[in-house]
């Protein structure tokens, strides 16, 4: 298994950050066929495969706001208001995803992208581990 960590600046607001290009660059140099495993070693971020653009990322953030409101209901209460919801989000959007790689290319569907989802406005820098398992 080969592995690399990339850093992603998520800023000071909720974000769905496209990391597809970084993932594609990584697998291009790794080999022919296998699996790319994407893992976020943070308790408040996740990895999603979804269509980006066409405002799907905005729709995802709106849905998460409806499911996990940024208010003071959360028992996990340190950090900015509503921070506890960031600790619940990885149960809905897991901190990992696995994508097939064929011929050194991500085998994503036509409209699929790989995104880091981060509701935690207190941490502005994230790490993402990319691991390639060759067949």
**Domain boundaries defined on the chain:** 2-133
Residue 57 structure tokens: 């990322």
Tell me the per-residue pLDDT of 90-129, one tens digit each, with 9 for 90 and over.
Answer: 999 999 999 999 999 999 999 999 999 999 888 889 999 9
Start-to-end CA distance of the chain, whole Å, equals 10
With H, G, I as helix, E, B as strand and everything else as coil, classify residue 69: coil
Q: What is the pTM of this model?
A: 0.93
Residues 129, 11 contacting (CB under 8 angstroms): no
Fold of 2-133: Jelly Rolls (2.60.120)
- What percentage of the chain carries pLDDT values higher than 70? 99
Given a cut of 80, whether residue 31 has pLDDT beyond it is no
d(CA 87, CA 32): 37
Does the pLDDT of residue 81 top 80, yes or no? no
């Amino acid at each position: 298994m080969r592995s690399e960590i990339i850093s992603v600046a998520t800023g000071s607001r909720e974000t769905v950050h496209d990391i597809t290009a970084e993932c594609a660059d990584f697998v291009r140099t790794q080999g022919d066929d296998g699996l790319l495993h994407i893992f976020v070693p943070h308790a408040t971020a996740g990895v999603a495969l979804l269509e980006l653009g066409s405002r799907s990322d905005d729709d995802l953030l709106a849905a998460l706001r409806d499911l996990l409101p940024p208010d003071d209901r959360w028992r996990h209460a340190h950090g900015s208001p509503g921070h506890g919801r960031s600790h619940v989000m990885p149960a809905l959007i897991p901190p990992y995803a696995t994508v097939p790689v064929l011929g050194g290319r991500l085998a994503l569907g036509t409209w699929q992208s790989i995104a880091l989802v981060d509701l935690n406005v207190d941490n502005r820098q994230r790490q993402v581990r990319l691991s390639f398992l060759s067949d």
